Amino acid sequence: MPDPKAVNEFFSDIAPGYDRANRVMSSGVDVLWRNYLARRVNATQPKQLLDLATGSGDVAFTLAKKVRSAESIVGLDFCQPMLDMAEIKKPKKKSASIIQFRQGDCLDLPFEDDSFDSITISFGLRNLADRHKGLTEMLRVLRSGGSLFVLEFTQPDKWLRGLYYFYLKHVIPTISGAITGNENAYEYLGSSIEQFPTKAEVAKELENAGFTSVSHKGLTFSIAAVHSGVKAG
Protein backbone atom coordinates (compact mmCIF):
# COMPACT_ATOMS: atom_id res chain seq x y z
CA MET A 1 0.00 0.00 0.00
CA PRO A 2 1.31 3.52 -0.76
CA ASP A 3 3.03 5.59 1.94
CA PRO A 4 0.74 8.61 2.63
CA LYS A 5 3.62 10.99 3.32
CA ALA A 6 5.28 10.10 0.01
CA VAL A 7 1.93 10.39 -1.83
CA ASN A 8 1.31 13.84 -0.34
CA GLU A 9 4.83 14.93 -1.34
CA PHE A 10 4.39 13.62 -4.91
CA PHE A 11 1.17 15.56 -5.40
CA SER A 12 2.55 18.70 -3.75
CA ASP A 13 5.45 18.57 -6.17
CA ILE A 14 3.43 18.01 -9.36
CA ALA A 15 0.37 20.15 -8.44
CA PRO A 16 1.08 23.07 -10.84
CA GLY A 17 1.45 20.77 -13.87
CA TYR A 18 -1.03 18.07 -12.82
CA ASP A 19 -3.92 19.06 -15.13
CA ARG A 20 -1.74 19.55 -18.20
CA ALA A 21 -0.01 16.20 -17.64
CA ASN A 22 -3.42 14.51 -17.31
CA ARG A 23 -4.70 15.95 -20.60
CA VAL A 24 -1.53 15.00 -22.47
CA MET A 25 -1.24 11.49 -20.99
CA SER A 26 -4.85 10.58 -21.67
CA SER A 27 -5.26 12.65 -24.88
CA GLY A 28 -8.20 14.32 -23.18
CA VAL A 29 -10.09 11.07 -22.52
CA ASP A 30 -9.97 11.74 -18.76
CA VAL A 31 -12.50 14.55 -19.38
CA LEU A 32 -14.93 12.03 -20.94
CA TRP A 33 -14.48 9.68 -17.96
CA ARG A 34 -15.26 12.45 -15.46
CA ASN A 35 -18.33 13.43 -17.53
CA TYR A 36 -19.53 9.81 -17.46
CA LEU A 37 -18.99 9.70 -13.69
CA ALA A 38 -21.04 12.88 -13.26
CA ARG A 39 -23.88 11.48 -15.41
CA ARG A 40 -24.01 8.39 -13.18
CA VAL A 41 -24.12 10.60 -10.08
CA ASN A 42 -26.81 12.83 -11.64
CA ALA A 43 -29.04 9.77 -12.18
CA THR A 44 -29.20 9.23 -8.38
CA GLN A 45 -30.38 12.84 -7.75
CA PRO A 46 -28.21 13.59 -4.71
CA LYS A 47 -28.34 16.90 -2.84
CA GLN A 48 -25.24 16.79 -0.61
CA LEU A 49 -22.16 15.56 -2.45
CA LEU A 50 -18.63 14.74 -1.31
CA ASP A 51 -15.74 14.44 -3.79
CA LEU A 52 -12.81 12.71 -2.12
CA ALA A 53 -9.18 13.05 -3.23
CA THR A 54 -10.55 16.01 -5.17
CA GLY A 55 -7.05 17.18 -6.18
CA SER A 56 -7.24 20.18 -8.48
CA GLY A 57 -11.04 19.98 -8.42
CA ASP A 58 -12.00 18.75 -11.91
CA VAL A 59 -14.57 16.24 -10.64
CA ALA A 60 -16.12 18.77 -8.25
CA PHE A 61 -16.45 21.29 -11.12
CA THR A 62 -17.98 18.66 -13.43
CA LEU A 63 -20.45 17.59 -10.72
CA ALA A 64 -21.47 21.22 -10.13
CA LYS A 65 -22.24 21.56 -13.85
CA LYS A 66 -23.96 18.24 -14.45
CA VAL A 67 -25.75 17.18 -11.26
CA ARG A 68 -28.97 19.18 -11.37
CA SER A 69 -30.12 18.22 -7.87
CA ALA A 70 -26.82 19.24 -6.18
CA GLU A 71 -27.16 21.75 -3.32
CA SER A 72 -23.65 21.45 -1.88
CA ILE A 73 -20.39 19.82 -2.93
CA VAL A 74 -17.42 19.36 -0.60
CA GLY A 75 -14.09 18.63 -2.30
CA LEU A 76 -11.64 17.07 0.15
CA ASP A 77 -7.94 16.34 -0.25
CA PHE A 78 -4.98 16.08 2.13
CA CYS A 79 -2.60 17.87 -0.24
CA GLN A 80 -2.85 21.66 0.19
CA PRO A 81 -0.99 22.58 -3.05
CA MET A 82 -3.56 20.56 -5.06
CA LEU A 83 -6.40 22.35 -3.23
CA ASP A 84 -4.69 25.69 -3.96
CA MET A 85 -4.84 24.83 -7.68
CA ALA A 86 -8.54 23.95 -7.27
CA GLU A 87 -9.26 27.33 -5.65
CA ILE A 88 -7.42 29.17 -8.45
CA LYS A 89 -9.40 27.26 -11.11
CA LYS A 90 -12.80 27.52 -9.42
CA PRO A 91 -15.16 29.07 -12.00
CA LYS A 92 -16.84 32.33 -11.00
CA LYS A 93 -20.17 30.89 -12.20
CA LYS A 94 -23.12 30.51 -9.83
CA SER A 95 -23.14 26.71 -10.27
CA ALA A 96 -19.63 26.51 -8.76
CA SER A 97 -20.57 28.60 -5.72
CA ILE A 98 -21.94 25.44 -4.04
CA ILE A 99 -18.40 23.94 -3.95
CA GLN A 100 -16.24 24.17 -0.85
CA PHE A 101 -12.71 22.80 -0.81
CA ARG A 102 -11.40 21.41 2.43
CA GLN A 103 -8.20 19.77 3.61
CA GLY A 104 -8.65 16.37 5.23
CA ASP A 105 -7.72 12.71 5.18
CA CYS A 106 -9.87 10.09 3.42
CA LEU A 107 -8.88 7.62 6.15
CA ASP A 108 -10.31 9.79 8.92
CA LEU A 109 -13.09 11.88 7.38
CA PRO A 110 -13.91 15.07 9.28
CA PHE A 111 -17.69 14.58 8.95
CA GLU A 112 -20.54 13.20 11.05
CA ASP A 113 -22.12 9.86 10.20
CA ASP A 114 -24.80 9.96 7.45
CA SER A 115 -23.81 13.38 6.05
CA PHE A 116 -23.86 12.87 2.25
CA ASP A 117 -26.16 11.49 -0.45
CA SER A 118 -23.34 10.76 -2.87
CA ILE A 119 -19.58 10.27 -2.67
CA THR A 120 -17.15 10.25 -5.58
CA ILE A 121 -13.47 9.39 -5.56
CA SER A 122 -11.64 9.69 -8.83
CA PHE A 123 -8.10 8.32 -9.25
CA GLY A 124 -7.79 8.46 -5.47
CA LEU A 125 -8.66 4.99 -4.13
CA ARG A 126 -5.42 3.62 -5.62
CA ASN A 127 -3.43 6.11 -3.54
CA LEU A 128 -4.94 5.29 -0.15
CA ALA A 129 -2.63 3.66 2.38
CA ASP A 130 -5.52 1.52 3.69
CA ARG A 131 -8.36 1.01 1.19
CA HIS A 132 -10.58 -0.91 3.63
CA LYS A 133 -10.37 1.89 6.18
CA GLY A 134 -11.07 4.47 3.46
CA LEU A 135 -14.09 2.55 2.16
CA THR A 136 -15.57 2.03 5.64
CA GLU A 137 -15.13 5.77 6.31
CA MET A 138 -17.02 6.48 3.06
CA LEU A 139 -19.81 4.14 4.12
CA ARG A 140 -20.00 5.83 7.53
CA VAL A 141 -20.50 9.38 6.18
CA LEU A 142 -22.92 8.27 3.45
CA ARG A 143 -26.66 8.38 4.17
CA SER A 144 -28.72 5.19 3.88
CA GLY A 145 -29.65 4.77 0.23
CA GLY A 146 -26.70 6.96 -0.83
CA SER A 147 -24.17 5.87 -3.46
CA LEU A 148 -20.41 5.70 -3.77
CA PHE A 149 -18.84 6.07 -7.23
CA VAL A 150 -15.17 5.20 -7.70
CA LEU A 151 -13.44 6.21 -10.94
CA GLU A 152 -10.09 4.47 -11.12
CA PHE A 153 -7.55 3.00 -13.51
CA THR A 154 -7.80 -0.74 -13.89
CA GLN A 155 -6.22 -3.56 -15.85
CA PRO A 156 -7.15 -2.99 -19.51
CA ASP A 157 -8.49 -5.61 -21.93
CA LYS A 158 -5.93 -8.40 -22.48
CA TRP A 159 -5.03 -7.48 -26.08
CA LEU A 160 -3.99 -3.97 -24.96
CA ARG A 161 -2.04 -4.86 -21.80
CA GLY A 162 1.50 -5.24 -23.24
CA LEU A 163 1.34 -1.97 -25.16
CA TYR A 164 -0.36 -0.14 -22.28
CA TYR A 165 2.15 -1.21 -19.63
CA PHE A 166 4.99 -0.24 -21.98
CA TYR A 167 3.37 3.21 -22.36
CA LEU A 168 2.99 3.53 -18.57
CA LYS A 169 6.55 2.48 -17.80
CA HIS A 170 8.53 4.09 -20.60
CA VAL A 171 6.52 6.89 -22.23
CA ILE A 172 4.49 8.49 -19.42
CA PRO A 173 7.36 9.19 -16.98
CA THR A 174 9.30 10.99 -19.73
CA ILE A 175 6.40 13.11 -21.06
CA SER A 176 4.84 13.89 -17.69
CA GLY A 177 8.22 14.38 -16.04
CA ALA A 178 8.95 17.04 -18.67
CA ILE A 179 5.64 18.79 -17.92
CA THR A 180 5.70 18.57 -14.11
CA GLY A 181 9.45 18.34 -13.50
CA ASN A 182 9.02 15.08 -11.55
CA GLU A 183 9.62 11.85 -13.44
CA ASN A 184 9.56 9.76 -10.23
CA ALA A 185 5.95 10.64 -9.48
CA TYR A 186 4.91 9.23 -12.84
CA GLU A 187 6.97 6.08 -12.37
CA TYR A 188 4.90 5.66 -9.20
CA LEU A 189 1.71 6.11 -11.29
CA GLY A 190 2.68 3.20 -13.56
CA SER A 191 3.56 0.79 -10.79
CA SER A 192 0.51 1.73 -8.71
CA ILE A 193 -1.78 0.97 -11.69
CA GLU A 194 -0.11 -2.36 -12.42
CA GLN A 195 -0.37 -3.42 -8.78
CA PHE A 196 -3.97 -2.27 -8.37
CA PRO A 197 -6.56 -5.07 -7.99
CA THR A 198 -8.82 -6.11 -10.87
CA LYS A 199 -12.39 -4.81 -11.24
CA ALA A 200 -13.79 -7.99 -9.66
CA GLU A 201 -11.38 -7.66 -6.71
CA VAL A 202 -12.29 -4.00 -6.15
CA ALA A 203 -15.98 -5.02 -6.22
CA LYS A 204 -15.24 -7.57 -3.49
CA GLU A 205 -13.47 -4.85 -1.45
CA LEU A 206 -16.58 -2.64 -1.68
CA GLU A 207 -18.75 -5.53 -0.52
CA ASN A 208 -16.35 -6.34 2.33
CA ALA A 209 -16.60 -2.73 3.47
CA GLY A 210 -20.41 -3.10 3.63
CA PHE A 211 -21.65 -1.68 0.30
CA THR A 212 -24.55 -3.38 -1.48
CA SER A 213 -25.69 -3.38 -5.16
CA VAL A 214 -22.02 -3.26 -6.13
CA SER A 215 -21.27 -3.01 -9.85
CA HIS A 216 -18.50 -1.95 -12.21
CA LYS A 217 -18.21 -0.72 -15.77
CA GLY A 218 -14.99 -0.60 -17.78
CA LEU A 219 -14.28 2.55 -19.81
CA THR A 220 -12.12 2.85 -22.96
CA PHE A 221 -11.03 -0.81 -23.26
CA SER A 222 -11.06 -0.95 -19.44
CA ILE A 223 -8.15 1.46 -19.03
CA ALA A 224 -10.39 2.97 -16.37
CA ALA A 225 -13.54 1.79 -14.62
CA VAL A 226 -16.38 3.19 -12.58
CA HIS A 227 -17.27 1.11 -9.54
CA SER A 228 -20.40 1.82 -7.59
CA GLY A 229 -22.02 0.67 -4.38
CA VAL A 230 -24.97 1.67 -2.23
CA LYS A 231 -25.33 2.06 1.53
CA ALA A 232 -28.29 -0.17 2.38
CA GLY A 233 -31.33 1.64 3.75
Ligand X SMILES: C[S@@+](CC[C@H](N)C(=O)[O-])C[C@H]1O[C@@H](n2cnc3c(N)ncnc32)[C@H](O)[C@@H]1O
Site residues (vs ligand X, CB under 6 A): 4, 7-8, 11, 53-55, 58-59, 77-79, 82, 105-107, 122-124, 127-128
Report the C-alpha dihedral over residues 44, 105, 100, 28, rounded to 10 degrees.
Answer: -70
With respect to ligand X, which residue has the nearer C-beta, 55 or 213? 55
| Least spacing, CB of residue 221 vs ligand X, in Å | 19
| Least spacing, CB of residue 158 vs ligand X, in Å | 25
Q: Is residue 10 packed enough to be buried (19+ CB in 10 Å), middle (13-18) or exposed (0-12)?
A: buried
Q: CB nearest ligand X: which residue?
A: 55
| Least spacing, CB of residue 103 vs ligand X, in Å | 8
Enumerate residues 6+ apart whose C-beta is below 8 A from 34: 58, 59, 62, 122, 151
Distances (CA, A) of 185 to 25, 31, 81, 103, 154: 14, 21, 15, 21, 18
With respect to ligand X, which residue has the nearer C-beta, 27 or 144? 27
| Least spacing, CB of residue 185 vs ligand X, in Å | 10
DSSP class of residue 122 equals E
With respect to ligand X, which residue has the nearer C-beta, 5 or 92? 5
Query: Cα 19 from chain centroid?
Result: 14
With respect to ligand X, which residue has the nearer C-beta, 2 or 218? 2
Distances (CA, A) of 138 to 12, 13, 108: 24, 27, 10
With respect to ligand X, which residue has the nearer C-beta, 52 or 233? 52
| Least spacing, CB of residue 27 vs ligand X, in Å | 15
With respect to ligand X, which residue has the nearer C-beta, 18 or 213? 18
DSSP class of residue 167 equals I
| Least spacing, CB of residue 233 vs ligand X, in Å | 28
Question: Are 75 and 48 contacting, i.e. CB atoms less than 8 angstroms apart?
Answer: no
